[in-house]
Amino acid sequence: MPQITVDYSEQLAEGFDRPAFAKALHSAVVDIAAAKPPACKTQFRRTEDTTVGPDTEGHAVVHVTIGLLAGRTEETKARLTEAVLDLLRQHIKPENRALHASAEVRELDASYRKFDA
């Protein structure tokens, strides 16, 4: 915990500094949501096809989902979401595309379990 997933349009692959974004995001999660640094895990998933409204050209999408254990206030989750959007602005160069960026912080289900090997 936290479990972080970043879905992004393949058109952003060259202009998205993913390692720097993940490092900065982990720092924000630690500072804002009191996570432990070694517990931060981020997976990036590039999507081949993006359609926004009726258009398939000229748009790119990035969405960040952060799953945290229960117990954070709504204010904490909102602060973290805003921090994610600020970090996306800093680490993505959309290169003449309309960028649609979003983020959400959700609580992991009570059934969440993990192991490290």
The pLDDT tens digits of the residues spanning 57-110 come to 889 999 999 999 999 999 999 999 999 999 999 999 988 889 999 999 999 999
Question: Which residue in the block uniquely carries the two structure tokens 């096809």?
Answer: 49
Name the residue type at position 59: H
Put simply, whether the predicted model's pTM sits higher than 0.95 gets the answer no
d(CA 117, CA 103): 30
The answer to whether residue 40 scores a pLDDT higher than 90 is yes
Cα–Cα distance measured from residue 36 to residue 78, given in angstroms and rounded to the nearest whole number: 19
The mean pLDDT value for 28-57 works out to 91
Q: What is the mean pLDDT of the chain?
A: 94
- Interatomic CA distance for residues 67 and 5, integer angstroms: 9
All domains of the chain in start order, with CATH: 3-107 (3.30.429.10)
Pair of tokens at residue 61:
């999408």
pLDDT value, residue 95: 85
What pairing do the DSSP bridges indicate for beta strands 59-68 and 98-107?
A: parallel
